[in-house]
Amino acid sequence: MVKHYSEQLDRTFFALSDPTRRAIIGNLAAKGTCSVLELAEPFQMSLPAISKHLKLLENANLVTRERQGRVHYLKLCAEPMSEANAWIEAYRRFWTQQLDNFERYIASQTFGEKQNDDNDKQS
């Protein structure tokens, strides 16, 4: 299996490692573009704390920010999530194949033992 390394992938998984940031992404996915205040509303934390989360999401390229006057709006970006999904899918296929091979091996061993038991009974 080919090793795949990407700084973007590291930033994506790090950004997704926090439940607050995952909730922010969920809100953006459900609502589309939201202001910082709209995104901060469900959380019991300060605006500077939310801003740190948003900055980390921006650094991971998971959101983009647009400023309209004094209001900052954020929008979800799908590309980094697609890369993370492709990485996960490659490993899912790998492990599915490994488990299928193991299942076939176990079945062949069980079948071989059954044949030996049948032969012993006939003797």
Residue 28 belongs to a domain: yes
Query: Would residue 16 count as lying in a domain?
Result: yes
Say whether pLDDT at 47 is over 90: yes
Is position 21 within any domain?
Answer: yes
Cα(first)–Cα(last) distance of the chain, in Å? 48
Domain span at residue 51 reads: 7-78
Q: Tell me if 115 is assigned to some domain.
A: no
Question: What pLDDT was estimated at residue 111?
Answer: 66
pLDDT value of position 2 = 44
- Domain tally for the chain? 1
The per-residue pLDDT of the chain, averaged, comes to 87
1 pLDDT higher than 50: no
d(C-alpha 76, C-alpha 69), whole Å = 20
**CATH number, domain containing residue 25:** 1.10.10.10
pTM score, whole prediction = 0.71
Mean pLDDT of the 8-21 span? 94
pLDDT attached to residue 74: 98
89 falls within a domain: no
Query: Is residue 48 a part of any domain in this protein?
Result: yes
Among 79, 83, 73, 61, smallest CA distance to 31 is for: 73
At residue 115 the predicted structure's pLDDT band, cuts being 50, 70 and 90, is low
pLDDT tens digits, residue range 68-89? Answer: 999 999 999 988 888 888 888 9
Q: What is the pLDDT of residues 26-35, one digit of tens each?
A: 999 999 999 9
